[in-house]
Amino acid sequence: MALSLGTRLGVYEVSAKIGEGGMGEVYQARDTKLDRDVALKVLPEAFTSDPDRLARFTREAQILASLNHPNIAAIYGIEEAEGTRALVLELVEGPTLADRIAKGPIPLDEALPIAKQIAEALEAAHEAGVIHRDLKPANVKVKDDDTVKVLDFGLCSRLSPVWRATHTHRVDRAPCGDWAHPATPRAPDRAARGPSRSSAAEASPVLTPQ
């Protein structure tokens, strides 16, 4: 359901609507208990009785909770009140990468640190068995201190334990957003060398106009 200014959802008081997409509406809200601003991603009312959408919404929360990286926006919890369900997320200030690209080409000395941080976020997700599947400039924010945050894991998939353990190269899709084939084993010193080429390659197109 749409939330208006001043609406309370548990301890959260809505202050503004800041985004909207197929998987939910996003609001800025004040945590009246911890005295901080957060983002609320609210499941659209039309989906609240759809078991598949509800499962996907819960899965997004669980996957985000399993990721802990400075370049991935954090989740604080799930809030539900009077039939409204919301993810409580880190509020990331600053423009999206799409906003930045719209102003013109990004100089190389700015683009490289952005690409590196996106690749590091994806690498952390991949190491946890998570594929974003919706990476685009609108889902990346650049804060005033130049920290990059990857957002919106609503369409992500998780690599199944079987996929990761068997070391085959199949790409069969499993139900419920999981993948049935295993990740390529990672070299022990990969973390020291930086993001893998696959993560870097996935990040590169995000810096170009769509």
Round to whole Å and give the CA distance between 114 and 102: 16
Q: Contact, 48 vs 30, CB < 8 A? A: no
Burial of 22 (0-12, 13-18, 19+ CB in 10 A): exposed
Q: Which of 35, 134, 172, 189 is catalytic?
A: 134
Whether 37 is catalytic is: no
- State the Cα torsion 92-207-197-109 to the nearest 10°: -90
SS3 141: strand
**Which residues are catalytically annotated?**
134
